[in-house]
Structure 1
Amino acid sequence: MKVKAFVQAIAIAAALAAPAVSFAQSNGPVTRAQVRQQLVQLEQAGYRPGDGDQTTYPVPIQQAEARVARESAVSNGYGGVAAGSSASGSRAVPAPEAAIPGLKPVYFGQ
């Protein structure tokens, strides 16, 4: 009887631990050199961390991050905005019932 309770406890613990393991980060810690390089990129994009302007805090860094992302997308060849248009999200017009052979209304003949 104790073995059955032990097996059930292990199964419950494994079920509760599975989501925590599945959402673990796969990338490693960021080094000082990487942080310094990111800060240099942001400063080159126009962000000044020590200018003392705290009234519009998130806006300047977000703008600088967007500039860095655009520049890296251009240099990498990935991302960016493609010229042209797309029909995604447009409503599809269904075919009339008469145009589909063998299709009859649900209440046909009543």
Structure 2
Amino acid sequence: MKSLVYALVAISVLAAPAVSFAQQSSSTVTREQVKAELTQLEKAGYNPGRRDPNYPEDIRAAQARVAAQNGTVPAQTGYGPAVGGSSGSGVPSK
């Protein structure tokens, strides 16, 4: 019985790397493109190594400067579509 348990443990240890493939990337952005974008942002005044309490505003400002230099519209950031509406809590609707 012990040899069966040892055999199962050995098989599972040997089989684990075979079933744990790296995630395939479906992104079309290459490393070179990311490095080029980071270089543009650094030239526009953004410093990624600096601890900055104004992080979101700084990166957005640098992205806007890069977009102005390239003559493009900066990408909108956020998740999901714009949603309008309201909600109330504890108030019955009539």
TM-score category of the 2 structures, normalised to the smaller one:
0.3 to 0.5
TM-score, normalisation: structure 1: 0.40
TM-score, normalisation: structure 2: 0.47
Select the structure of larger CA radius of gyration. 1
Q: Which has the higher contact order (CA 8 A, sep 6+)?
A: 2
